[in-house]
Amino acid sequence: MRVAFQGERGAYSEAAALALLGPEIEPIACPSFDGVFAAVENGDCQRGVIPIENSLGGSVHQNYDLLLRHSLHIVAELNFRVRHCLIAMPGVRKEAVRRVYSHWQALAQCEGYLTRLGVETAPFYDTAGSVKALAEEGRTDSAAIASRRAAEFYGLEVLEEGIEDDPENYTRFLVLAREPQPLDDGDGPLKTSIVFSVTNHPGALFRAMAAFALRDIDLTKIESRPLKGRPWEYVFYMDFVGSAQTGPGKRALDQLAETATLLRVLGTYRRSE
């Protein structure tokens, strides 16, 4: 199975893809999130893996917008523990490091550690990409922050692991496919993702939420995003516990459909603990 992900080989997205779909997959690196969606949509890849939110950094808004723009389906999720590593050329000691490269989010998540280390930081386009560049340049006064897998892939050494300031650092990844995966409550704990919009008048969002509250459905996420081409109007992305095909979830969606100006089920899939 060919699985698209954004970033260089060794990226956290690649590690999440392997954890979700198994070591037999063929990971396909894409330069952008748009490229991941396109690779799945045009059939070059059977699956795509994207980050949708981080427990420290929040939502990946670009991917919410792409979910609406494309017609793919969410078929799985994974809450992936992110462990940042300080990575350098073989033989380099931590005391010799003067500058550290990585994606700006990784640098921010390790800010306290880097301050204590007393180094200069330099934002890079990708965590794994910073390791790849370090390996190509062979600099012995610099290091990168990325995954252990990135260090192994490019032949570099891990100087220290688990350098993030907050150990509760998780990224939620989604698996995308061209076709939905039919599941019901007998398949274990399920989650459903939807996107909807309502008319802009008093109580409209309250009535939309009431369809779920009246059935004691647990809402795990709600996110608003601007509706492109319609200033000051919004769409709402929502996750709830349950299935879109059966039971209370289906009845809640039937009720929401009566008032929503847009309603689309993005997918029902097994819930990641």
Sign of the dihedral defined by the CA atoms of residues 122, 128, 134, 137, in that order:
negative
3-class secondary-structure state, position 132: helix
Name the active-site residue from 121, 127, 171, 192.
Answer: 171
Of residues 33, 153, 173, 240, which has the active-site annotation? 173
Q: Do 149 and 10 form a contact (C-beta atoms < 8 A)?
A: yes
DSSP-H helix ranges across the chain: 12-21, 33-41, 61-69, 104-109, 111-117, 127-137, 148-153, 204-213, 247-257
Parallel, antiparallel, or unpaired for β 47-54 and 2-6?
Answer: parallel
Is 171 marked active-site? yes
In 85-104, which positions are buried (b, 16+ CB within 10 angstroms) versus exposed (e)? bbbbbeebeeeebeebbbbe
Find the radius of gyration of the CA atoms of the chain.
Answer: 21
Q: Say if CB 105 and CB 54 are below 8 A apart.
A: yes
- How far apart are alpha carbons 266 and 225 in whole angstroms? 15
- Distant-in-sequence, close-in-space partners of 29: CB < 8 Å, separation ≥ 6: 5, 6, 7, 8, 9, 11, 14
Which sequence positions are flagged as catalytic? 171, 173
